[in-house]
Chain A
Amino acid sequence: MAASGAQRRIKSISYAKYGYLFILPFFIVYFIFQLWPLINTFILSVHGNGNASEKNTTSNDVLVGLSNYKTLLSGGDTRNEEQQHAEFFKAFKTTIILWIGNFVPQIILSLSLAAWFTDARLKIVGKGFFKVVMYMPNIITAASVSVLFMSLCSDKGAVNQILSSMGLSTVDFLKGTAASRGVVMFIQTWLWFGNTMIMLMSGIMGISPSLFEAAEIDGASSTQTFWKITMPLLSPIMAYTLVTSMIGGLQMFDIPYLYHTGTEINKDIQTIAVYIFQRYKNKNGAQFGYAGAASVLLFIVTVILGSITFYLNRDPDEVAKKKQRKKLIKDAKAKSKQFGGLSI
């Protein structure tokens, strides 16, 4: 046993360089294309907004300290700064509204479907077909989906034609605040419920079947089984779904960015990702300062959410191993103390 341990150690020394060699490309590319841009975003956030066509703006190269953050979070003296502040907060609020409006119906739908699909007592014909169809919207190009719904919901689009043929008044789905937000929520739910359903299904199938059998023998109804067995055991996966959906919601871009006609985007559905994008792709010159500051604020929120996921997503084996290792070290230390602190 000891010999094999020693052998392994020798091997690990002689082959370690291949380990570094194999992971090197990943880290080189990561540093150039992801880490440096992230640091660069922080750098940009403390620089000016280089808008040459307007007065009173500082160039991208001039250090301005935290003034971009101040402008975004609490406004400023000029009208332009007040406008940035208002737009940033509106975008943040919109993101939260749109996320809640698509997450709540989505989770109810996905969870109930997942419970029904995995219920062995129910005999639903064509389960496989339903799963395939319900996942399908998720693989379709979101940009195409957005333009499709824009066309269907336009003034003379199919939806308004159906409404007027039923004798109802037509709705401005493209420009009305509540209506346009409602459509975006619907599209997001339509795109994602199949994906969430399959993830929850695999979670439910990971629960030991003997628990369900025992519940059935004890005479529990489907409802009781769902609330007393499925839900408590599914809670880690539910929490994981919640947090990943939140992070995904913060990135919501394609649909809000494209759901409009003409060249101006609809401000009522402008999410934080769209706001950032609009800043650094501004027609009147890139406002990298505001874009950077807003990105950093978004990054902080994401880091908080991400660390929750990371905590939930830990490998239980690794955690147990680490604990064991710590205990061994502790024991060894205690033992060496017994020998009067003599190291061998």
Chain B
Amino acid sequence: MSKDMKSTYGKAPDSYSKKIKIKSWVLFAWMVILTIICLFPIYLLLVNSTRTSIQIGNGFTLIPSTHFSENFKNLTQNSQFKSSINMAYGYKNSAIITISATILTVFFSALTAYGIHVYDFKLKEISYTVILLVMMVPVQVTGAGFLSFMISLNLHNTFWPLILPAVAAPAVVYFMRSYMKSSFPLEIVEAARIDGSGEFGTFVKIAIPMMKPAIAVQSIFAFISNWNNLYTPQMILLSVGVEKKTLPMMMASLTASDKIDYGVVYMAITLSVVPIIVAYVFLSKYIIAGVALGGVKE
């Protein structure tokens, strides 16, 4: 017993580091498994987009086939899909809505945060509290009232109700305010005033360039959430033709048909997913840093 103990004591540092090494490798193996789980569905998607519907029905494989262009042709030319899916329109509509909404969100959130941060006014505290309070009200709660209001304004089936509300994004204002608190000294505003800069000019020419990191992160998140948004477009665009549908709406219409050509379905999903994955590969560093900062409040 005492001999055992002595030998254990003598070897302690060695066995300790060995234990950690083993643990590190076990964990590494576990992470590899999780990585496979994360990537496997997407890999299967890409493989299946190269196979015909009959091949997909016959069995699954990890080896890509050669019918990619055939599926693409079917998707773009087959009359069965023409009425509900047109990827070119999808990209266009999603891009119009997403880009306009993102610009509005970022610009007006920065402006609102700047107004609250820089100026002292009576309703300052209360307006910020209101913004914090309404941050949590989800669109699902206001949906019914929103739709009936838009119908009464005759704005349903247009893009306006999908773009204009982006001006008021409480979570983004909250983030921008927190960022300004830590890295936007008020002396700069004073200095700009002495140099004769107008208030709005100071915001555009000095504050916005200084807030670039926060603006970049929030632009990315606003872009992703608008691009992926299904709920509001599906609600507002009640009865529109394929030429006004967004990409997620087209994905939704894929499930609606009873007889499904899976080769084409996988093709359509691939086309909707690949651009955002490619963008993610390039921007992942900023996105992950942004999440860590609490940039995402869904």
Contact = CB atoms under 8 A, between A and B. Distances in A.
Contacts of A132: 284, 288
B273 A144 contact: yes
Interface stretch (B73-81, B133-141, B210-218): B133-141
B188 interface: no
A22 B273 CA distance: 38
Nearest to B94: A141
Contacts of A158: 44, 48, 60
A248 to B, nearest CB: 5
Contacts of A342: none
B87 interface: no
Contacts of B273: 140-141, 144, 148
A22 B249 CA distance: 35
B228 interface: yes
A140 B144 contact: no
A125 B28 contact: yes
B205 interface: no
Contacts of A38: 137, 141-142, 145
Nearest to A186: B37
A279 B203 CA distance: 45
A298 B127 CA distance: 25
Contacts, number: 315
From B116, B118, B142, residue with most partner A Cβ within 10 Å: B142
A161 interface: yes
A212 interface: no
Interface in B108-147: 108-109, 111-112, 114-116, 118-124, 127, 131-147
From A131, A258, A313, residue with most partner B Cβ within 10 Å: A258
Nearest to A142: B228
Interface string A12-45: 1001111111110111011001111111111110
A264 B121 CA distance: 54
A92 interface: no
A136 interface: yes
Interface stretch (A75-83, A225-233, A288-296, A328-336): A288-296
B111 A34 contact: no
Nearest to A298: B141
B167 interface: yes
A35 B144 CA distance: 13
Interface in B188-229: 199, 203, 224, 227-228
B291 A299 contact: no
B41 interface: yes
A176 to B, nearest CB: 17
A89 interface: no
Contacts of B135: 306
Contacts of A133: 35, 38-39
Size category, B interface = 35 or more
Interface string B25-61: 0011001001101110110110010000000110110
B88 interface: no
A94 interface: no
Contacts of B146: 33, 37, 40-41
Nearest to B20: A121
Interface stretch (A51-59, A96-104, A149-157): A149-157
Interface string B232-273: 001100100000000111011011101010100110010011
Interface in A294-314: 295-296, 298-299, 302-303, 305-306, 309-310, 313
Contact of B272 (A19, A27, A144, A202): A144
B137 A130 contact: no
Interface in A199-220: 199, 201-202
A156 B233 CA distance: 32
26 contacts: A8-B120, A19-B118, A19-B119, A20-B115, A29-B167, A33-B164, A36-B149, A41-B145, A121-B20, A135-B284, A136-B280, A137-B38, A140-B42, A143-B228, A147-B254, A147-B269, A202-B291, A251-B139, A254-B231, A262-B258, A280-B147, A281-B238, A286-B147, A286-B148, A296-B141, A306-B136
Pairs of residues from A and B, 9 with the lowest C-beta to C-beta distance, nearest first: A22-B115, A19-B119, A40-B145, A41-B145, A306-B136, A12-B120, A37-B146, A143-B248, A33-B165
Interface of A: 8, 11-12, 15-23, 25-27, 29-30, 33-44, 60, 109, 113, 116, 121-126, 130-137, 139-152, 154, 156, 158, 161-162, 165, 190, 194-195, 198-199, 201-202, 222, 244, 247-248, 250-251, 253-254, 257-263, 273, 276-277, 279-281, 286, 288, 291-292, 295-296, 298-299, 302-303, 305-306, 309-310, 313
Interface of B: 20-21, 23-24, 27-28, 31, 34-35, 37-39, 41-42, 44-45, 48, 56-57, 59-60, 108-109, 111-112, 114-116, 118-124, 127, 131-149, 161, 164-165, 167-168, 170, 173, 199, 203, 224, 227-228, 230-231, 234-235, 238, 247-249, 251-252, 254-256, 258, 260, 262, 265-266, 269, 272-273, 276-277, 280, 284, 287-288, 291-294, 296-298
